[in-house]
Amino acid sequence: MTFQVNRDDGLFYRQTLFDQAKTVVLKVGSAVLTTAEGLNLDTIDSLCRQISFLRASGRQVILVTSGAVAAGRRRLGIEKQPGEALKVKQALAAVGQGLLMQSYEQRFAEHSQQVAQLLLTHADFSQRDRYLNVRNTILTLFEFGAVPIINENDTVSVQELRFGDNDTLGALITNMIGADMYIMLSDVDGLYTANPSLDSSAKAVYTVAKVDNQIEAMAGNSGSSLGTGGMQSKIRAAKMVAACGGSSFIGPGRNSNVLRELFSGQMVGTFFLPETAKISGRKHWIGYVLRPAGFLDLDAGACRAIVERGKSLLPSGIVRVEGSFRVGAPVHCRCPEGRVVAAGLINYASADIEKIKGCKTCDIQEVLGFRDSDEVIHRDNLVLLNSAGNFTN
């Protein structure tokens, strides 16, 4: 069974992981941080107090925060409009980001805690050298005793540079630095087997052993209507973290003492256990950070080969090529049912794959006039994303 609803199930394992967690990434969304009037300063005060408590216990903490747009909106007195233009949100973020950091700076100072600001876009992750530079900066801030406060750089982010939501940003940061635990504080208590407001038999899910289709289906029962995230994005983020060997938690951000309760062993929210077989940092970068430049549709035999037998992808198993991409680009592989099963770095350009799809490896030279590799994607550059299900033609 992939989840447990009994309060005692998994309690010992949960507490062991909390006790052992030395590096924690904490994400707080706009639904928790803001009200109709702007930033919720009482919540920020509570967060700073609780984070300082974790720091005093010897833990490193990273805070991933929303709230810049809301702060800017309140300062300028601009009401939210339906279909609001991106340039308006970017301008509001430009005004509000300084106000947001000022709020954190003042309240952390009351606990003698230094802070530092990092504003990131997806380009900082998709380019390997910038990815490593961000990682080194965070680790150096730890050496200085500062709490890194991270937000998406909303003032410059356009669609292709956006993370989509801060749940994903927090998961990427967690895996980037190899943090032990990722905590997502939300306006909901956690994951439920059904919508508790509609179904009186709905039960809280306290421990999730593995994120699978059953767990993902539950996400629609507990989602928040606020912010850009919601429960589905949090489930995806927990799955990303678990793949790299970390644990995750989703819980009530409006509980003013939630972090103390968690680390003292109280059973609140939903806890996600780490995968037993974790992927490397490089494969995480390929599978979860890089956005696909195209797609390859595979036949059932090729899907079985890469998923069940750990093989490289050969041209004979490719049915269709979607997109235009160069050698070395990230692509996603789809099974006959249309489900994405793997991501990888390609050895041939899309135009060349179009010519050799369905061909045997020994025919590549004859078809293209050259053969740079026997594999379209080598196993070392291939990451499984969803191996569940049967592969049928």
Q: Where are the domains of the chain?
A: 3-283, 292-384
pLDDT one-digit tens code per residue, 171-206 = 999 999 999 999 999 888 888 887 777 778 888 888
pLDDT at 256: 87
pLDDT one-digit tens code per residue, 1-55 = 455 555 455 666 777 888 889 999 999 988 888 887 778 889 999 999 999 999 9
pLDDT one-digit tens code per residue, 109-157 = 999 999 999 999 888 888 888 888 999 999 999 999 999 999 988 777 6
pLDDT one-digit tens code per residue, 285-321 = 898 888 899 999 999 999 999 999 999 999 999 999 9
Q: Indicate whether 354 pLDDT > 80.
A: yes
pLDDT at 223: 44
Q: Mention the CATH class of domain 292-384.
A: mainly beta
The answer to whether 71 and 137 are in contact (CB under 8 A) is: no
The CATH number of 3-283, from 3.40.1160.10, 3.20.20.140, 3.90.1150.150, 3.40.640.10, is: 3.40.1160.10
Q: Are strands 340-345 and 330-334 parallel, antiparallel or unpaired?
A: antiparallel
- The pTM for the full model equals 0.83
pLDDT one-digit tens code per residue, 57-111 = 999 999 999 888 888 888 898 888 888 888 888 898 899 999 999 999 999 999 9
Whole-number average pLDDT of the chain: 86
What count of other Cβ atoms lies within 10 Å of the Cβ of residue 281?
A: 15
pLDDT one-digit tens code per residue, 209-230 = 888 878 877 776 554 433 344 7
